[in-house]
Structure 1
Amino acid sequence: MIFGRPSSGFHQRRPSLTTACPPIALVSPNDKKQATKQTWYATWPILRLVGYLYVLLSVCIATLHLVLSCQRNYLNQTTGFLQPAANATLDDIPHTLWISKIFSKSGMKFDHVRPHWFTATDASHSHTVTLATVLTPEDWPHLVRLASLWQGPISAALQIPSIGVGSTVKELEYLRQEYDSREDLKKYVDVHLVIRPHAVSSSSLGGRQEARNLARLFSRTEFVAHLPVRTRHLTNLTRAVDQYQDLLRHGDGLVIPSFVDRRNAVYNSEAPAPEGKDALIRWVDERRMGLQDHHWRLNEGPTSYAEWRIATEPYLVTNYDYHYGPAYIATRDHHPWCEERFEDQLPACVYAMFLAGSELWVLPEDYSIREIEPEYALTLEERAMQDQAYKNYRVEQCVFYARKFDLNQILDQDQASHIRQECAKVLGSLRKANMIS
């Protein structure tokens, strides 16, 4: 016994820091492995989710890139069918280059246009007037008939819907074969291709204003006759232009009276047409035909059938109205272009020309016969929006020409007489605002 304590018979080791708190290195390997496995199991769903998201995002980006690439290269895929004919004047320079120089502020807008897709072989200058017209593939037979009827230069803007690469190429192949097989087309008609890249209503391809400008821009002659492609009969306009070219060079326009068959919605091209003015007057008196100005009843429009039937010299359109959109002849280079904010608004082309100071003279002996067509190839909703836009456009044009003439100090002269006639309210407002004198 030591210090009075009984002995237990064995030695008891005192606790130490090492035994009480063993080092980490002394933790069991099995425990460490088990902890690592639990951590991996916890993070695996997160890693798997990140992987799935990465794959999904990659697929979406690749699909989007493929779709955009197909849209961007759509026209390039049809290059073999969109190139102009071998004798075209644009072979040496790509059309996208030189047309971008002409319309430098239009960006890539004209990538869907192929000027002179077909080019006429007759390069003679025996004619002084070119017919400018707009058509769709459904109107191709009418273009064939018009070329046979006119026997002179025609500048035609052909609008093709881009419903799909295969369908578009097939349509273009067919039209090329048709063009090559028709001697009158090959000899006289320049076809300028316009591919409409956007979805449009079934009633219209849209952009007829732009197409009218293209047909006029690429006309071959100084004077251009703006006519619908569904024209069935036409007098010798070349003779009229030669006779009254002084009026045209003065900046005026020549109106071509347009007649339609009252009995049939579609004029029978095989039926005989009245030969000469006297015969046509008899047909009108017999109620077989009538003078058509869209927006008015037959024989009641601004062209004035009552004046035309007794006229021997060109006479002025005295009852002009902003809805008036006749077939007409004018110079190619010295008139305002058709406003392209509209889908189809021929009166806007005439309105700008009228406000700029042009007089409209009705040809006394010439006329055309065409099919009865609706005034606009638009839906009711499109028509309502266009009418509202046209109302705003008229005010804009009044302001533009009023200020232009005022700056040139000719607002009181004859050239500005149409401004004073059509824009009285606008002129009053401008004077109150001290914008014109």
Structure 2
Amino acid sequence: MEASGKLARDEKSSYLNRMNGWIDHYILQQPLLPQQQQQQQQKNRILKSRPFRLLVVVYILFSVLFTGTHISSWLFSTKDAWTYQRTYDALEPYSLVSDMSHGLKMSKLFSKGHYDALQYVQPFWQKASVIPDELDTTIITTTTPETWKDLVFLAKSWDGPISATLHVAKDASIKATIQAEYQSNPSLFKNVDLHLIETPTGIKQSVSVLVPLNVERNLARIYARSQHVCDMPLNTILVTDLRQTLLKHQTKYAALMKKGDMLVIPTFKHTSGQEIPVTKKELVGLVQGEKSLVLHDAHFESNKGPTDFETWKASDALYKVTGYTMDYEPIVIQSKTVQPWCSERFVDKRSACLLSSYLAGNDFYVLPSDFVIYKPTTANAAISDLDTVIEKRLYAKFYWEQCVYQGRQLDAMGLWNTAKSDHIRQQCSRVIQNWDQPNYSNTTHYPYPQTEPRFQQFADNSLNEEYTNPTYRSIGLDEREKRTYELVVCQQPLHARMCGFGEKDRRPIDPPPIVQLIVKQQGQDSPVDVQMLQIPFFVLHVTLWSDDRAEERNIISNPPKCTRVLMGSLVSSPSLLKNPEGEQGLYFAFPDLSIRTEGRYTLRFSLMKLANSDFQENAKSKIVAQVFSDPFTVYSAKKNPLSYQKHLLSKA
């Protein structure tokens, strides 16, 4: 028994010695030069170690087993299993995209559209017979049965590629009529690609959040068959030979659009009459002489928009738009692939399609000789009043979002200190100044080192200024918009109990101060409709003053530190509320103000309007209007508490 065990051990030892000999032969090397011997000895010490050699043996065994498994699976499997599969190639029959429903594909392309509406989308329902050149410009637009005649007129005057979405109700007769006219009209079947969108609710409810117009714009753009696109409404008339201008300067304009810049087509509208000028000279005469036409930039006064009529009148070459604001939405020619896509969260907001591009550092260049004219009788798509209100509020938040996103993109790409960031510096200085500025108000409990903000050049200390001048204006004038801003304290503070220097027993001022903002157009008595105001850009700041309005009482100085006297939220944003008479207005409320020390005080409210067009580098916000509250008393807990409590009970 002992002999057999010894024989087995000798046999195992011989296998190990043989394997070690192979490793020594193929891995260990003898140095050729004497100075290399010491280095090689250290290396051989590692290679001769037992863990390393065990790892080599395990690797060899695993490789042999893995290779044998695959070879056996290939030999004994069916022929179909040999097919090399990729699940991301939609052009191949085995792609997973092939198993998706059409509605699911469309909802993934246009995430903000409703699935029930997108499942009826038919790209290239009618496809043009002429394939456009890649450097050509495709007009993208949206149409309905009511505006179908306008599309026919546009196709005839443009005589080039058009990508249009046709939004119809589920009615076979309507589709048959349009299809018959399409196939019989050469200007349509040669150049116009029609993408069908059917909704069961009918055309009157089609312009909604189910399929927003911005989704339709992206749909027409994604299926355009050239590198350049122009989003043109159907209620416009192409007066000049725009297509010939683009072909003449194709190389120059293509280079601009490849960089991300956009070409602006000036738009005009009638104030009286319906005369259509053919040349630029005739147009200027109608604008300046008869005044029957005006330069129309939506959301701006006639002839005073960023397109700048005076500059366009005297120009014979492309010029850059310098007065851009967030509401600017001209008709532009742009790259199909370089420009950001329209934000689909909006029902109909063309300015949202251009804001991202401008903040990314791209410019608008105005065509010097071409123009379009809005048709006087064609109405825009019907959008509900609720959608309009939501659009305005959402767009203000979208503007701030894009400032942060595009700014961080430029910073990540190393373009922050280049000319590419000039636009975002001018438009978004108020937003980007707060980047990387954590709240260090309580540095005792903040464990991390305090760092300087990355964009210190935008630091704005306007809210920290010491207001030592007791003069104020309850009514302020905005020279740019020709509006007056009036502050009215509609609920005065009456009294309060001091809260001391602890944080647990804070007693708010009673009743909480409420300030109303009244905005009027200069020269008019009635207030401006609050729905037309950019509500998120109004900010009201409150400070504490003596009852005679002569001294500011915000801080108690107790070297080496200073303590705030007025506690709570010192800044308020407006809310759209109704007064007891049911009238709607803008109100600022300060429900949690409290005061540390007793005495007689008054509150000063300062209104600031954070309009983006006012911001320049190193700029400070101006105070538009100010108003003081009536004096009120702050009592201690022991001084006259009974009358204070009785007043609260009687008020309750």
1:247 to 234, 256, 261: 256
Unaligned runs of 5+ in 2: 1-97, 439-450, 456-652
* 1:218 aligned partner: 223
Give the conservation status (yes or no) of the 8 Å contact 1:294–1:375.
no
Could you say which structure has the higher helix fraction? 1
The residue aligned with 1:181 is: 184
The amino acid that maps onto 1:282 is: G
Matched, 1:385 2:390: yes
| Aligned twin of 2:401 | 396
- Root-mean-square deviation over aligned CA pairs: 2.8
Shift of 1:202: 5.0
Q: Percent identity?
A: 31
- 5+ long unaligned stretches in structure 1: 1-92
Q: 2:128 and 2:306 mapped to 1: Cα distance? A: 36
Amino acid at match of 1:188: N
Is the 8 Å Cα contact of residues 132 and 225 (structure 2) preserved in structure 1? Answer: no
SS class of match (1:219): coil
| Secondary structure of the structure 2 residue equivalent to 1:112 | coil
Q: After TM superposition, give the deviation of residue 379 of structure 1 in Å.
A: 2.4
Decide whether the 8 Å contact of 1:127 with 1:153 is kept in 2.
no
Q: What do residues 268-320 of structure 1 show as CA deviations (whole Å, max 9, x unaligned)? A: xxx6x322211211122221212111112221211111111001111111110
Q: How does 1:41-120 map to 2 (within 5 A)?
A: 100=105, 103=108, 106=111, 109=115, 110-120=118-128
Instruction: Return the letter of the residue paired with 2:123.
Output: P
Shift of 1:108: 8.4
Alignment of 1:344-423 (within 5 A): 344-372=348-376, 377-423=382-428
Taking a change above 3 Å as real, the CA distance of residues 360 and 288 of structure 1, as seen in their structure-2 partners, is same
For each residue in 1:9-33, what CA deviation from the matched residue of structure 2 results, as whole angstroms up to 9, or x when unmatched? xxxxxxxxxxxxxxxxxxxxxxxxx
CA deviation map 1:354-410 (0-9, x unaligned):
112110011111111222466774222211111111111111111111111122221
How far apart are the structure 1 equivalents of 2:344 and 2:110? 15
* Paired residue secondary structure (2:263): strand
Question: Letter of the aligned partner of 1:277 in structure 2?
Answer: K
Residues 381/108 of structure 1: CA separation in 2 closer, same or farther (3 Å cut) = closer
Question: 2:157 matched to 1:149?
Answer: yes
Query: Is 1:300 equivalent to 2:304 in the alignment?
Result: yes
Query: In the alignment, is residue 287 of structure 1 matched against residue 291 of structure 2?
Result: yes
Cα distance, 1:262 vs structure 2: 1.9
Q: Does residue 135 in structure 1 map to residue 143 in structure 2?
A: yes
Give the aligned partner of residue 526 of structure 2: none
Output the amino acid matched with 2:199: R
| Aligned residue among 171, 192, 195 for 1:192 | 195
Classify the secondary structure of the residue corresponding to 1:194. Answer: strand
- Aligned: 1:121 with 2:124: no
Larger Cα-atom Rg: 1
Equivalents in 2 of 1:186, 1:284: separation in Å? 38
The 3-state SS of whatever aligns with 1:193 is strand
Match of 1:341 in 2: 345
Conserved? CA contact 1:315–1:361, under 8 Å: yes
Q: Kindly indicate whether the alpha-carbon contact (under 8 Å) linking 2:267 and 2:297 is maintained by their aligned counterparts in 1.
A: yes
SS at match of 1:429: coil
- Look up the SS of the partner of 1:134 in the other structure: strand
Structure showing the higher strand proportion among its residues: 2
> 1:432 aligned to 433, 437, 446, which one?
437
Using structure 2 for the length normalisation, give the TM-score.
0.48
Q: How does 1:224-239 map to 2 (within 5 A)?
A: 224-239=229-244
SS in 2 for 1:323: coil
Would you say the 8 A contact 1:95–1:114 is kept in 2? Answer: no
Q: Deviation of residue 122 (structure 1)?
A: 1.5
Query: Which residue matches 1:58?
Result: none
SS in 2 for 1:366: coil
Structure-1 separation of matches of 2:229 and 2:241:
14
User: Equivalent residue of 1:225, what SS?
Assistant: strand
| 1:317/1:362 contact within 8 Å kept | yes
The alignment partner of 2:333 has SS state of strand
Give the letter for the 2:272 counterpart.
Answer: R
**Preserved CA contact (<8 Å) 1:159 1:205:** no
- Partners of 2:109 and 2:163 lie apart in 1 by 23
Q: In the alignment, is residue 311 of structure 1 matched against residue 319 of structure 2?
A: no
Matched positions, count: 334
Question: 1:309 aligns to what SS in structure 2?
Answer: helix
**CA distance in structure 1 between the aligned counterparts of 2:278 and 2:202, rounded to whole angstroms:** 44
Give the match for residue 536 of structure 2: none
